[in-house]
Structure 1
């Protein structure tokens, strides 16, 4: 990978894209240290450490929420808007037709941006009002308006940075922003564990076990993320004028993990709801039962988490890969799978294979998500390497490396696999 980066640096236009990407990421990290006026940072930090949902949002904002900076909401509103628009695209035929056209995709992207800003505004109001009057220095209306506008404007700026990286830089901008947010929190987590080892609260062998577990998770995610089932495709020969077209063989790559990190995000969102509702009534019996038997770190939490991942893996794989559309495209272009008739038999065959590889990918995601939970339950030591964060980091790193490889191959440069 380092050889890939070194070779890419020698190409002027790719070097310019890398520098632009790094500059945009630097702007993002600088914004993560610009505080919003009128807030009590000490009180907010105590609340973020106490509430699970705020801790999750703080992870995806790179610690900006606990410091209440202009980027405190992170890219979460835009991600939620994208998820909702993807679901609506599947459910509403008009949006599905728009998604298949170039102008339609631009309109959907524009609607997603506006929707993301609206969700950011709603989330800003919900967070600052939910934290109560102790979160602000004074309860004047102008103070609340200033805080809410700063948070919403920060969300819009993050969206702009992500889109500029995608357009003029290297990799997917939104994914890179999430990646850099998670990575920025890793040093402090490791330092906390090292301090625990130093003062004796954490056993040295437990620390080694956590590092080894993280290494195995990264290795497994890399193996599965790169895994794919290649379906052979043959194109029939046809004569157009005096030239013969077709006759070549190719394949349809079906990734083992079609849905990526989306099942984990959906599952976590649903699992956070009971705890988030219970936190409004902290003295209730339901919240006490939830924390003891169904909260993070319990066996029931890990089992439900794994089952939700299995469900959403199948759900989202149908969105990421549609066997019927692939079958129609093959038939229209004169392609067929050897031994399988075109049309419905082809779509049924692709759906059967998709179901099998999705099962393997879903079971793997469930295991990856459940291992840290069961580790915490058995040892009492919280693993700093959550399944969602590790999966995002590995996936984004692999995807960015692939983009560098593809751009270098177009310029006849050797990649690190050569």
Structure 2
């Protein structure tokens, strides 16, 4: 491994890309610790347990810690939201669908629209974030704000400073978007994905410190809430097993055999070669877990907020509080059943949007390629759709298992969620996917110079066949 790293840094072009990427990620981490000047406390601590849990879960795929009101407080999530919106609209809105087919010019136009929508989302989210933080403070409702920034009547944050906070957080997200684009163009790897991965990995030292601090150097019989020697061994084995499963399914493909048609030119016969069409088992990627977890988090927080508006002990309060507790308790059967059902739904929904069997069938026909045993056209389309439905069941089941593994670890062993979150869910899937994408892009530079890849198997592109 050290020899391969030496080779990477011995290639001038690759060394420049890697160092630039590391430098830009360091800039992101520095800005992550610069707080807004009007903030006095940690937002997550003052907001209470439910809000703190909400910020902790959302921060996994936001490339930031929402419990810290910093200049990068919103992270990169507004840009991701804008990209998802345009991707969804591109499959149902005809002008955007035509724009996607215009090649590089259409892609630049879509990127421009995505940036505009990102700024709009940033303004809305930063304002709501600021208002929620103001309401989450102490007995006066302003415990999170530095008293020097309150208005003359001490009834709220001065309006001018509210505008400054919104503009600073909006500019912070736009700056992160620019950083990601610079990594795409001059660095190595996908810039936005690397920012998210850096945010996830940055939480690991804190989680490990918490695990070691609460660990006991004795046998505890796997008692809930106590981390003993056997609990630590079980956590290590479970982590290795989950990572192995994530890697296997992430690289897993269903390879459909194809054959190109033969044609004659002069006295020579061309074509007739056998190839394969790879279909990813986890076609939807990490998006179903993001959608499902977001959809389940918001109602729990909303019902808890509404319950606080009614008199404690009343009928409406009890109903709202019951819904809030049910949708916030990750160890409850109802929560996990809803979680799994939403993951299956969004798996098929996202696959139906991103995978077009008719378009793939037309491309095969236009290139003179066919699937043996199936006529080009409708029969090929139906076959591709049937295969994708079958493997989507496998991918959805895999995502469901990975999504509830942290809940099982958290509920059965009593391990803090900051530690259990690394055993599955969104963070682990993003980290593994981005790591393989980065390795493959580094390998492409090494292979061009007749070097072997970092990982001869997985990194070189060899995937398990299902």
TM-score normalised per structure 2: 0.84
1:276 to 301, 318, 327: 301
Q: Which residue of 2 aligns with 1:86?
A: 87
Q: Which residue of 2 aligns with 1:177?
A: 195
1:268-287 C-alpha deviation (Å, 9 max, x unpaired): 11111211212323443244
**8 Å contact kept, 1:232–1:337:** yes
1:116 to 96, 105, 118: 118
The separation in 2 between residues aligned to 1:62 and 1:344, in whole angstroms, is 43
2:421 to 346, 364, 384: 384
Question: Counterparts in 2 of 1:280-299, with a 5 A limit?
Answer: 280-283=305-308, 284-295=317-328, 296-299=330-333
Residue 64 of structure 1, CA deviation: 3.9
The separation in 1 between residues aligned to 2:185 and 2:267, in whole angstroms, is 42
Structure with bigger gyration radius: 2
The separation in 2 between residues aligned to 1:242 and 1:25, in whole angstroms, is 58
Residue 288 of structure 1, CA deviation: 2.8
Higher relative contact order (CA 8 A, sep 6+): 1
TM-score normalised per structure 1: 0.93
Q: Which residue of 2 aligns with 1:360?
A: 394
Residue 244 of structure 1, CA deviation: 5.6
The separation in 2 between residues aligned to 1:147 and 1:411, in whole angstroms, is 49
The separation in 2 between residues aligned to 1:358 and 1:248, in whole angstroms, is 29
Residue 246 of structure 1, CA deviation: 3.0
Listed as ranges, the gaps of 5+ residues in structure 2 are: 135-141, 151-156, 309-316, 458-466
Aligned residues, how many? 418
Listed as ranges, the gaps of 5+ residues in structure 1 are: none
Quick check: 1:251 aligned with 2:276? yes
Q: Which residue of 2 aligns with 1:310?
A: 344
The separation in 1 between residues aligned to 2:196 and 2:42, in whole angstroms, is 25
Identify, as 1 or 2, the structure richer in helix.
1
1:337-382 C-alpha deviation (Å, 9 max, x unpaired): 1121111111111111111111111101101111221332333334
**8 Å contact kept, 1:302–1:374:** no
* Secondary structure of the structure 1 residue equivalent to 2:421: coil
The separation in 1 between residues aligned to 2:227 and 2:170, in whole angstroms, is 43
Q: Which residue of 1 aligns with 2:58?
A: 57
The separation in 2 between residues aligned to 1:141 and 1:207, in whole angstroms, is 51
The separation in 1 between residues aligned to 2:3 and 2:89, in whole angstroms, is 42
Moved more, 50-59 or 344-353: 50-59
Relative to structure 1, the CA distance from residue 309 to residue 166 in structure 2 (aligned partners, 3 Å threshold; closer, same or farther) is: same
**8 Å contact kept, 2:259–2:369:** yes
**8 Å contact kept, 1:235–1:334:** yes
* Secondary structure of the structure 1 residue equivalent to 2:257: strand
User: What do you get for the CA RMSD once the two structures are aligned?
Assistant: 2.2
